[in-house]
Each structure stands twice: as C-alpha cells, then as structure tokens.
Amino acid sequence: MNSATPAGIATSRRPEKYRFYPGWTMLGIAALANYMSAPGQSHSVAAFKEPMRESLGITETNYSLAYGIGTLISGLLLPITGRLLDRFGARRVLPVVGLLLGAGCLMMSQATNLQGVIIGFSLIRILGQGALCLAAMWLVGEWFEQRRGFATAIAGLGGSISVMCFPLINGYLISHYNWQTAWAVLGIGVWVTVTVPSLLLVRDRPEELGLSPDGFDSQPARSKPAPSSETTNSSVLEGWETRDVLRDVNFWKLLSIPVTSGLVGTGLVFHQVSLLGSHDVSVHWALGLLSLQALMSTLAALGSGWLADRWECRYLLCVAMVFLALAVALVIALPWFYLVILYAVLLGLHGSVLRSAGMIVWMTYYGRRNQGTIRGCAVAMMIFGAALGPLPLALSIDYFGSYSPALYIFLIMPITAAVLTATVSQPQSQPVTEVR
C-alpha cells in the first residue's frame, strides 16, 4: 500500500502481497456451501419422500407435518444464527454448521419412525436450508459492495447447480442402494466439501487483511475515520439497528416476497411428482423438470445479478412474483402436456431473481452492520412459509380429493406480494456507524 495515502482515506488498491483478491476465494466457498446445502433443501428431500413414507409407514400428511415442524424450528433459530454471524463471523460459524449438518444427515439415515424423521428434519433444515446458506450469503455481503448483486448471483449458482444435480444423485443412490445409504453419503459429502475448506480458507472481512470490498477494481471507498491503535485492524460498518428495521413498514412489505416464495415455491417442489402426475406427467419427467428448472435458474443467474446492481431490487422482485404466479396458473390448468417445460422455466427464472435481488435487498436498504441478524429474520420468515408450504396441498388432496383449492390460494399470494413490494420506498432513517 502506498505510504503516501492520506490518513482517513481508504485506498481502492490491494496491498502488493495480494496478487489475487481473496474475495474470489470466499465467493467460491460460498457457492460450494450453497451447493452442499442440498440435504436440507426441498429439491433434495423430494426424492426421499415416497421411499421413506413406504418404508416407515408414514402418511403423506404426517410426513409433511414432520417436514413442517423441522422447518418451523429452523426458522425460530435462524435470527440467532444471524446474530452469531455478526458477532463471531463465518470463519468460526461455517465449519461448525458443516460438521453438524453432516451429523444430521447420518441421523436421518438411522430414522426408524415418525419421531426420528421429525428430529432429522429439524437438524437438516436448521443447518442446511437455514444456517449454511445464511453464512454463505453473509460472507459474500462482507467481501463485495459495488458488485454485490453479481457476486451474489455467482454464489447462488451453487444452489442452482445443486437443484440440477441432487434430485438425480439422490434418485440414483436410492434406486441402486437404499434411502439410508443415500443420506449417509450426503453427510460424508458435507464434511469433506464444507467443513474442511471452511477451516482452512475462510476470512470474515476484507478489512481484516487491509483490503476494501470488491478489491482494487472497485470504486473508491467512502471516507472513514482515521484509524487509531485500537481500530487499525477493525472494519468500519454502517447499517441500521435491528430494532429500527423491525419498525420500518418497508421491511414488512419486502418480507412478503420471501414468505410467498417459501410457501408457494416449497409447496410446488415438495409435491411436484404428485401435482404433475395429476396431469399424467410421469415421475421421470417430474423429477427431470427439477433439473430443467435449475438449468434455467443457472443460465439466468448472472443476468439477474447484473440487473440487481443497476435496477431497483423491488422491481426485480415484482417480476419474480409474476413468474411464480404464472407457474401456479399452469399447474391449475395445463392445456397441453409440453407446457410443463414452460412451468419449469418460470420457476427457474423466479429462483434466479430471488438468489440475487432477493438476497442483496436487505443490505441495500439496511447496510452491513447487522446484516446477519436482519437477513436471518427475513430468511426465517421464508422458512416459516416453507414449513407451511407442503401442508395446504396435502390437506387439499386428503380432504377434498383435489389440489385445486390450495392452488388457487397459491395463485393469489404472489400477486398480492408484487403489489405490496411495488409500493416500497427508500427508508429515510439515518444508519448507525460502528467500528469493529
């Protein structure tokens, strides 16, 4: 670093010893964490549904309840996970989450009754869908600022590729071995690909290494207070207090997006085989469409991230809700068999926007200081929605003999969320600055 740089002005050049911006390594680890969150995600669990129900003698409603209970517990704990990330950083939290998620997969492989399934679902949902993904996005948010949308989209590619791969991987393991072996393989995979790299490579913030977010190619950083002996190795973080965020009406309007996406999206994916089967779509096609959905999400991801750095996130999120509403409409009335391809494309585009604009909107509005806690609250609400998602469809088929009543409710929800999000305005409160 040039010694002539004035005190109090952050340099946009990286120190000479860093010829490669470490943020790209953090980004790769975040993408890998998103990929290996699969054991706790709906697209992976869907392949286990029928084999586990038949083997353990569990009804569809009870299986959905077990999944919902585990997901609700996950949501309750997620704001605490966010607070731990803000306090201890991903360097400490991420390896622990990977270790426990692997153990949760092994516990699922040993389930012999409904109680065991509830405990197993609780662990994998808390650690997979919740903590692991939250830690990955927290890391990206700390290392990138001007290119946060694009970087978040790259990290989100891990999740998209996961949706593409894991239904087929799980299907192969279950058909050639059994569902118990499949869970055990997932657990060992998490240990190898998440826990070990996190222990060796993760660093929490660029400021710890004397760098700025985005690396030397980023725009010049904001002026900062001259460092003292106590703050030389600390980072200056701006953002809202959590209590002020919870009082902001815009926060609650924006929450309609993750709640709707969690409830409707999870319900559709969880029951995809049965929903499409009601239109004479085979199991092979239904599972294959999950891969097509992931492919579309992957192809559109970088474009969504690029747009998220240039357009207002609220407008992109409204577009995502339109995609979701159209997908539900296709499930309700599928006039032509091959329109199931359009259904998968729409869900893929919806997921693409959610993995970019849906992730950075919280930092765009409320800053870095408490991003883990704020995003944890938002993701918790998404998880609550996801916990309820399978139940309306299960109850609808059990009590009415048709998925249609629940699907009409699913159609109304994204339309309502789009209207609420369109009315969001930029918050006016002044952020709080904290030196760490």
233 pLDDT more than 60:
no
Nearest Cα neighbor of 71 from 392, 380, 290 is: 380
Element (H, E) at 432: strand 432-435
Using pLDDT thresholds of 50, 70 and 90, give the confidence band for residue 210. Answer: confident
174 pLDDT more than 60:
yes
**Full-model pTM:** 0.73
218 pLDDT more than 70:
no
419 pLDDT more than 90:
yes
- The per-residue pLDDT for 60 is 81
Q: For the stretch 108-122, what's the b/e string if a residue is b when 16 or more beta carbons lie within 10 angstroms of its beta carbon?
A: bbebeebeebbbbbb
Q: How far is CA 21 from CA 92, 189, 215, 308, in A?
A: 21, 28, 6, 22
39 pLDDT more than 50:
yes
Q: In the chain, what are the domain boundaries? A: 22-208+237-425
- Joined together, the tokens standing for residue 59 give 């009804």
Yes or no: say if 113 and 7 are a contact pair by the CB < 8 Å rule. Answer: no
CA distance 358 to 50: 32
- The per-residue pLDDT for 434 is 52
Q: What is the pLDDT of residues 287-302, one digit of tens each?
A: 888 778 878 877 888 8
238 pLDDT more than 90:
no
Percentage of the chain surpassing pLDDT 70? 88
CB atoms within 10 A of CB 101: 28
Yes or no: say if 393 and 267 are a contact pair by the CB < 8 Å rule. Answer: yes
Q: What is the pLDDT of residues 63-99, one digit of tens each?
A: 888 887 887 888 788 889 989 998 898 999 999 999 9
22-208+237-425 is a CATH 1.10.238.10 domain:
no
- Joined together, the tokens standing for residue 201 give 């490579």
